[in-house]
C-alpha cells in the first residue's frame, strides 16, 4: 500500500519516544507532530533528523484502513494495545 498523500495519521496517532526537531521530548499518542505541515506532510521526510520510528513505518491496509479517520483509530488502538 502507498501512503495516502496528506493523511498524516502516522504523525498524529502514535507516541514517539525519541527527540526530534521542535519536540525534544518526543510526542504523546494523539498529539499532532509539530513537524507535520498544514497539508499533513512530514517536514522531516528524507532528513537525518527524522526519528527512526517514522522512517521505518510502512503503510498497510491493516494499519491505515481506508481513510485518515480510520488510520487514526487503528493506529491509536495499536498504540493502546502495545503500551
52 located within any domain: yes
Residues spanned by the domain of 57: 9-82
1 located within any domain: no
Q: What pLDDT shows up at residue 27? A: 97
- Whether the full predicted model's pTM is greater than 0.75, yes or no, is yes
75 located within any domain: yes
22-72 tens-digit pLDDT: 999 999 999 999 999 999 999 999 999 999 999 999 999 999 999 999 999
Q: Per-residue b/e over 61-82, b at no fewer than 16 CB within 10 Å?
A: eebbbeebeebbebbbeeeeee
Could you tell me where the DSSP H helices lie in the chain?
A: 52-56, 61-64, 68-82
Amino acid at each position: 500500500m502507498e501512503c495516502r498523500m496528506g493523511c498524516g495519521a502516522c504523525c498524529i496517532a502514535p507516541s514517539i519516544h525519541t527527540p526530534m526537531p521542535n519536540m525534544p521530548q518526543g510526542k504523546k499518542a494523539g498529539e499532532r507532530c509539530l513537524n507535520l505541515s498544514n497539508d499533513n506532510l512530514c517536514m522531516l521526510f528524507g532528513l537525518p533528523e527524522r526519528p527512526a520510528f517514522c522512517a521505518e513505518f510502512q503503510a498497510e491496509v491493516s494499519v491505515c484502513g481506508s481513510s485518515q479517520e480510520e488510520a487514526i483509530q487503528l493506529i491509536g488502538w495499536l498504540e493502546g494495545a502495545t503500551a
